[in-house]
Amino acid sequence: MSSSRSAIAWAGKKFRTKNISQRVRNIVISPIKEMSILADQFLARNPKTRLISFGQGIPFYDTPNHIKKAIRRALSEADTAKYTLEPGITELRELVAKKYQAKSSEIMISVGCQEAMACALATVIDPGDEVLIPSPTFASHIEQILQFNGKPVFVPLIEKQGWRLSTKEFAKKITKKTRAILFSNPANPTGAVLGQQELADLVDLARRKNLILISDETYDFLTYDNLRHISLAELRHGQNDNLIVCGSFSKKYALTGYRIGYAFAIEGIIDHMLKVHDALAICAPAISQKAALAALKGPQDCVAGFIKSLSRNRDLMCYELDKMSDIFEYQKPQGAYYVLAKYKKPALNSFKLALEILQRVQVITIPGAAFGPTGEGHLRFSYAGEPNDIPEGFKRLRKFFRS
């Protein structure tokens, strides 16, 4: 099963099995990162190549200067060299709590959203437990569930309706073993954004079935055409104590390299997530926590600028995809910075196709099957990179697909 989800395995790598747990034999490095690793290997063999990346979602813009200034200042503070309190710097927890009108004891500062999601899953599932996830879903969510010996249960999204999520389809897949429903919103890789009613239905379903809802809101700031993102946290009232929201500073403030994010849940859940956080990482990096503090306390106009650039990038990519409508069909993204485009030809699985594209025209794309079975027959394109890379990348893709 795992080798069919691994780009590196498709490229010919054999994995050792002696002394290796079944757990880890079953998982893969997310193909999002595998494609970067394979591209790096290609570059080592062909050092003069210019790669174009529509792969891993790394924004092209740099960390804002006022945040860098705060990092420089942090270097002269003695506590930057040292562990922070395990749950995070108190002031940072308080500021994140404010965003959700919550208490600081309801916030855990994490090593990016990724670690927050890992802590959430470890806290909610035991071996054999099931987690409902949309298909397609963010690739790493599959591995995170498997890593803690859970079972990802895929619920297909409705592509023709803009990758819409149907609560009824989720309800059908619930068994005695189901413990949680996990999704990203805005969604990676589809760019879909959940509406008020969809969220309310999910919350209602989860409460009735005694499930935990886990929402990855890494792209909460990034919606287009004046669409408002609704956090799962906004549906927290009355008895809704079954919500876990994970978030990030990575994309909003150009801090992906700093590995800094957080989780928000009721204190009774955070208490347990902190145990996992300790065993995985001890604490989030102090310097990154201070960068995040500066990000929250500083001016926010940089964020509006980022959204504007990414919105232009989206239009540019859609324009290029439209020019290739003989090959690609896609749903226009409402948020995040990805398009998951269906290809009409060639008749290759998405792993083979992405490897061929890299090999022949040096463009990094992500095989759709990495995101779950419904992703097969698609490629994910990130438009977070340099605007100029978009026309150049598509020039190459036209050459590839039309030869």
Question: Nearer to a copy of itself by C-beta: 158 or 174?
Answer: 174
Q: Are 210 and 155 in contact (CB under 8 A)?
A: no
One symbol per residue from 125 to 164: x for binding a copy of itself (CB under 8 A), - otherwise; what is it? Answer: xxx-x----------x--xx--xxx---------------
Q: List the structure tokens of 285.
A: 């990096």
**Strand pairing class (366-367; 130-135):** unpaired
Question: Nearer to a copy of itself by C-beta: 274 or 363?
Answer: 274
Q: List the structure tokens of 274.
A: 């902190």
Question: Nearer to a copy of itself by C-beta: 62 or 225?
Answer: 62
All residues at 6 or more sequence positions from 220 whose CB lies less than 8 Å from its CB, including other chains: 185, 186, 229, 231, 247, 252
Residues 367-396 that bind a copy of itself (CB under 8 A): none
CA distance 184 to 245: 10
Verify binding: residue 281, a copy of itself, rule CB under 8 A: yes
Residues 5-64 that bind a copy of itself (CB under 8 A): 13, 15-16, 18-25, 27-30, 33, 36-37, 40, 56, 58, 62-63
- Helix 286-297 with 65-74: angle, nearest 10 deg: 140
Q: Which residues of 85-106 are buried (b: 16+ CB within 10 A; e: fewer)?
A: eebbbeebbebbbebbebebeb
Give the shortest CB-241-to-a copy of itself separation in angstroms.
9
From the CB of residue 392, how many other CB atoms can be counted at a distance below 10 Å?
A: 13
Residues 217-256 that bind a copy of itself (CB under 8 A): 242, 254-256
Question: Nearer to a copy of itself by C-beta: 105 or 311?
Answer: 105
One symbol per residue from 317 to 356: x for binding a copy of itself (CB under 8 A), - otherwise; what is it? Answer: ----------------------------------------
Give the shortest CB-248-to-a copy of itself separation in angstroms.
11
Contacting residue, 4, 46, 66, 83, with a copy of itself by CB under 8 A: 83
Give the shortest CB-282-to-a copy of itself separation in angstroms.
5
